Amino acid sequence: MSAGIASTLLAAWERCLLQTDTERALTLLVMLDTELSETTLRSLPLGQRNGRLLALRERLFGPRMASLAACPNCAETLELNLNVADLQLPPPAEAPLLLVQDGFRIQLRLPDSRDLLHIQTLADVDAARRTLFARCCVEVLVSGEPVAPETVPEALIASAEALLAAADPQADIRLDLNCPSCRHVWLATFDIAGFLWREIQAWAQRLFNDVHLLARAYGWSEADILAMSPLRRQCYLERVRQ
């Protein structure tokens, strides 16, 4: 990681501290993936946003990812060795999604970060689900007449959720896991936004420890230490720790 990226990443870490998961994902992309504007990033389907987060993770820390998962059957801890390329999926189709069921004709769009930001303050899970569904409805027709999304029954909302998930699988990445102890098989969600944020937190704490040691030993400023290449910094750290 270059000195310039390290400095920007540290500034992003500081800005993210008091933000929600969705806000952090956008902040990291705005500050470290500068190809798109914040407005455009907010409107990306969640699968595309997650794809950019995966690519960002690879640029920052490399393609290999180590994670842990607890078996829901026996509580055994599994060590997962993942690769960014294995989680990258093709972008979803641009065509509108159509659900025709029980006399309803519902045109949908894929959810994006604006939708998550809108529902993040809703404590009730069911209310959040229905609000997200309503926001993703482009048009709802019954016998050719428009009706409010709030009138759609639960069974159709569940069908719409399944349709959206199938159309954009990278929005909710699932891992097929098999417990070596009890042979239990299950699907586990992999949240790249949360995973990357935890890695950045750990990286920042290691960097603060390095800056503390070098500043105390040599009297250098944080800016001076961050300007060093990781190799030069490590050479000085080895001498401090002798």
- The reported pTM is 0.90
**Model pLDDT, residue 92:** 75
pLDDT, tens digit (0-9, with 9 covering 90-100), for 168-208: 999 999 999 999 999 999 999 999 999 999 999 999 999 99
Q: Looking up tokens 């069974």, which residue turns up?
A: 155
Distances (CA, A) of 83 to 93, 157, 230: 24, 34, 24
Distance CA 130, CA 1 (A): 43
Give the gyration radius of the chain's Cα atoms. 22
